[in-house]
Amino acid sequence: MKLRLKPVTLAVAQLVVAGAFSAAVVPAQAQTNTGVVGRIDVTGTNIRRVDSETPSEVQVISAQQMIESGYTSVSEVLRNLTANSNGTLTTGFGRAFAGGASGVSLRGLTVGSTLILLDGYRVAGYPRTDDAQRQFVDLSSIPFVAVDRIEVLLDGASAIYGSDAIAGVINIILKKDFKGTYANASVGTTTKGGGTTVDVQLMQGFGDVNAGLGGFLAFEYRNQDAIKLSQRDGERWAVGGGDYTPWGGNDLRPGARSVSVPNPVILGAPYLQNPGGSSTLPANNAFLTNTCDFASRNANLCTYKNTWSQIQPHQQDVNIIGSLTSRLSSEWLLNVTASYFAKQATQVSAPGTVPFASFAGFLTGGPNQAPKVGVNPIPNFTVPANYPGNPFGVPANVRATFPLDGTNRSQQEDVGTSRLVAQLTGTKWGWDWTGAAGYTNVTEYITYTGFVSPANLYAALNNPTNPYLLTGGNSREQENFVHPTVNVNNWNTLSFAQVSGSRDLMQLQGGPLSLAIGGGDVYRNLSAPNSGAGQNGTVAHVSTTTYAVGSQNNTFVYAELAAPVLKNLEIDAAVRYDYYNTPNNSTWNPKVGVKWTPIQQLALRGTAGTGFRAPFITEAGNAGSTFNFNSIRDTLNCPVPGTPNSPQNVQGTCSFNPAYLQSSNKNLQPEKSDNFTAGLILEPIKGWSTTFDYYYIKLKNQIIPSSSSPDYNPQDNLVRNPAPQLVTFGDGRSGLSTAPLIAYVRAPFINAQSVTTDGFDVSSGYTWALPDTSKLLTSVTWSHILSYDLTSGGIKSKLAGTHGPTAVGGDTGTPRDRAQATIQWMKGPFTATFNVNYISSINVLDPSSGSNDCQTALAVNNNAALRWANTGVAPDYCSVASFTYTNMYLAYQYNKNWTFNFTVLNLFNAKPPFDFETYGSSAGQTSNAVNAGLPYNPALHQIGAVGPFISVGFIYNFN
């Protein structure tokens, strides 16, 4: 709409708002025309349009805006969407099931409810899923150089795209044609150490589509160094490497002695303990080196530096993409795009310890295999009486930390994504046709190093001729024997074929009545078995007890009508039918949208529809994840509670921690949603545009592990061994157990809760022509959550502005407000862009998990309990403060080909606010019997932990 009115007073008021915030958002723009003159493709509709503004809210991030953001990866750009909320994943979220990958969670409904498309088509997801459940596309592997723009549909779109499009759709649109040569290179580093990043992008165009044949070849190399916790020493949020005593908590530094860890292990100072005496006496503790002694340990003088924890992992990307477009005739175009994206990321964790921190490290499980717990064959590690340095004359207990000659425990992920898509577009028989077929394969190789084999370690320590030395100096063969390398190979494939046609049926007052019909098939195949070490428990603490294998097929048909019934009134209607080859997962989803333009300066718009998310292979295939939950009593083998030594009770069955299996369920229903939006587009004067959009989503049948439901009772989900076993009773006699012993406890996925959320988005932008011939662009985007209510077991919890829901989405929190603002000044060859980002505060409570007060949240839930255990009082950090940071991008265009730039991310060194409830940070891991993580939220405040990042670069563009 081109607007003529000039209400000066309103314009001044608008500037006051728009000039304070950032992140330019522009209306949906045209996708490259593929054959129909005057028509464009817009995300959210199957019908090519003349007008890019649809009844749905669509934000567009252009390639130039991506560059001006100062970021060099797609995931960093999308992480700053104001609609991105609870459940978002970043590469710094090291303790996630899919650590090292990143995903966006629109409206806070998890990464599984946001559909990611590449050029309007589906791609295979990351082989490892979020929380061993939800599939998502790893945004950190998508190349920056070939992106033409990103269109973000902030509305449910299952009637158009099918499953997963409940909260919205992110369509990453690659370039289709390019002429000339393009190069973009930059190098930068953090001001506080680590994180040096080199990025090189090259693109070469050839031919000319208009002349019959054209295309491009693009290459991208990006290397981002790790940032270690040790490089942020002195930062208050780093809590002295884990010392929480200034906050009323425990000292969790490596090697620290506390109530939680009375006998800590010391790096470089292994010691032996006399099993026949009290460990509190100096004579029963024999230190094998001079690094530490008994008195120093007890005085807390043997703490050591955490040299392993990462705030940001090392990541390297090499991407190649080529596109070829051939004009077969005046009416037909064929485009073929082929790409290979390679990513390598490394997560480093704390050194291993003896004794092992938890029997949870010996959970086992795998496809078609019952899980087990506590299979550690060596519950108590000892060395023989003649072991070097053993003064006790009897086998002695070991307390030691690795590595000495070995390496820290690490998890290296090598991910390769290959993709081939062919698209044919043209006109025939009065219809505009599009046919496409594609294949994506994501392969993930995981290499675990530095983890300990308990059986091998015990054998090496007790080798009579060449024992493994806890003081170091062992051969490489011995180290490899004790720390065997574990490999895992996962892959996920997706292939699709679809065809669609559209045409004008008749002329209405406002334009042609248009119809689109289409259909297709999508086939997924996932192979993510855990390693042999995860299935038999031979290597401790290798996180490979999560597995999923299987396939899934989706066939769909759809129809859509666009009816401009009046010159100022448009009605769109769509319906889609999806059939899945799993029970209960066939569904119809309609949607209707209306846009009314009563005057040229104002348009009203709204939509209503339904959405769904079909259970993925991890939820309804052959899949599972073994975990520890809580202690239970075997009521059959311990019939006399409170008296463990009763002759009727089997020893060890009155209170024990079984293995829990988060298992798939083939009878799951799809998650379903009702979606509603209403908004307006206001353009009172030329150059000033404002949009306001309200959204409402009700998500039903949300899939969760049954153990997360308040109705869950472990006693109803027991799986027992086939027959009674030989056991010892409370009075010491041996015999067959009263009943078969408990093998594990099932926690299958169930449809058990619902979420209702509503809120609004406001965006506004104005361009000023200044007297000195310069221009000033100001824009603002603000997303506000009015409500986020979760209902489970008949109990409703209000979670907007809290840390919930912790059971769904990684305990990342649901801030009510996120805002972005851009102020850009342009004069001649100079451009200065300032992007300001704001995230509102949240409290640490989560009513949906029983955290209704600060004491409970900080002293009981998750890993926070380790920080405050036995202190009696929760500290005064019941709220996570708001967070505001600013990015700056300066550019100088030397001539029409060369542009030089200077970038500072987090210009004013904004610090991450304290978040003592979160657990996502991989940093802060200790090598003692606790693992609390650092108190900052990597999903929301990662850039604050990184600190200021300065880079310089250039762009060369010749065409």
Task: Give Cβ neighbours of residue 434 (< 8 Å, ≥ 6 apart).
Answer: 34, 423, 424, 425, 499, 500, 501, 518
Give the Å distances, CA to CA, from 804 to 730, 750, 801.
Answer: 43, 20, 8
Q: What is the pLDDT of residue 3?
A: 32
Residue 36: pLDDT above 60? no
C-beta separation of 756 from 697 below 8 A: yes
Q: Give me the DSSP letters along 362-394.
A: G-EEETTEEEES---S-SS-EE-TTSTT--SSS
Q: pLDDT: is 232 or 819 the higher one? A: 819
Q: What is the mean pLDDT of residues 460-464?
A: 94
Looking at residue 48, its pLDDT comes to 75
pLDDT value for 811:
79
Rounded-to-integer distance, Cα 485 and Cα 761, Å: 49
pLDDT tens by residue, 158-203: 999 999 999 999 999 998 888 899 999 999 999 999 999 999 999 9
Residue 894 to residues 67, 68, 201, 831, 899, Cα–Cα distance (Å): 17, 17, 19, 12, 6
Confidence (pLDDT) at 40: 66
**CB contact at 8 A, 469 and 482:** no
What pLDDT was estimated at residue 304? 86
Q: What is the dihedral of CA 878, 92, 533, 537, to 10 degrees?
A: -10
Whole-number pLDDT of residue 51: 64
The per-residue pLDDT for 239 is 79
According to the model, what pLDDT value does residue 52 have? 64
pLDDT given at position 403? 64
Query: Cβ-count burial of 711 within 10 angstroms (0-12 exposed, 13-18 middle, 19+ buried)?
Result: exposed
The whole-model pTM stands at 0.90
Q: Are 425 and 332 contacting, i.e. CB atoms less than 8 angstroms apart?
A: yes
Q: Which residue has the higher pLDDT, 951 or 862?
A: 951
What pLDDT does 254 receive?
A: 84
The answer to whether 54 touches 29, Cβ cutoff 8 Å, is: no
Mean pLDDT of 454-464: 91
Q: Tell me if residue 479 falls in helix, strand or coil.
A: helix
Q: Over range 727-735, report the average pLDDT.
A: 93
The answer to whether residues 558 and 46 touch, using CB atoms and an 8 Å cutoff, is: yes
Residue with the bigger pLDDT between 351 and 598: it is 598
Give the mean model confidence (pLDDT) for residues 448-474. Answer: 91
Peptide bond preceding 403 in cis form (omega within 30 of 0): yes
Least confident stretch, 156-160, 244-248, 325-329, 471-475: 244-248
Mean pLDDT of 66-90: 91
pLDDT at 271 over 50: yes
Please tell me whether the peptide bond between 355 and the residue prior to it is cis, using omega within 30 degrees of 0: yes
pLDDT at 25: 35
**Peptide bond between residue 275 and the one before it cis (omega within 30 degrees of 0):** no
- Whether 808 and 704 have beta carbons less than 8 Å apart is answered as yes
> 850 versus 496: which is more confidently predicted?
496
How are beta strands 114-118 and 168-174 bridged, if at all? Answer: parallel
Looking at 37-41, 176-180, 337-341, 353-357, which range is the least confident one? 37-41
Given a cut of 70, is residue 99 above it in pLDDT? no
Which of these ranges, 5-9, 137-141, 450-454, 480-484, has the smallest mean pLDDT? 5-9
**Residues sharing a CB contact under 8 Å with residue 374, sequence separation 6 or more, in sequence order:** 359, 362, 657
What is the mean pLDDT of the segment spanning 395-422? 86
Q: Which of the two residues, 193 and 927, has the higher pLDDT score? A: 193
pLDDT for res 240? 72
What is the predicted pLDDT for the residue at 929?
A: 43
Give 857-914 pLDDT, tens digit per residue.
776 544 555 666 555 555 668 899 999 999 999 999 999 999 999 999 999 999 999 8
Taking residues 281-295, report their average pLDDT: 93
The dihedral over CA atoms of 73, 75, 76, 81, expressed in degrees to the nearest 10, equals 140
> Looking at residue 14, what is its pLDDT?
34
Residue percentage of the chain with pLDDT more than 70: 88
Closest CA to 586 of 622, 616, 556: 556
Mean pLDDT, the chain, whole residue set: 87
Asked if 852 and 797 count as a contact pair (C-beta separation under 8 A), the reply is: no
Query: Is 284 in contact with 297 (CB distance < 8 Å)?
Result: no
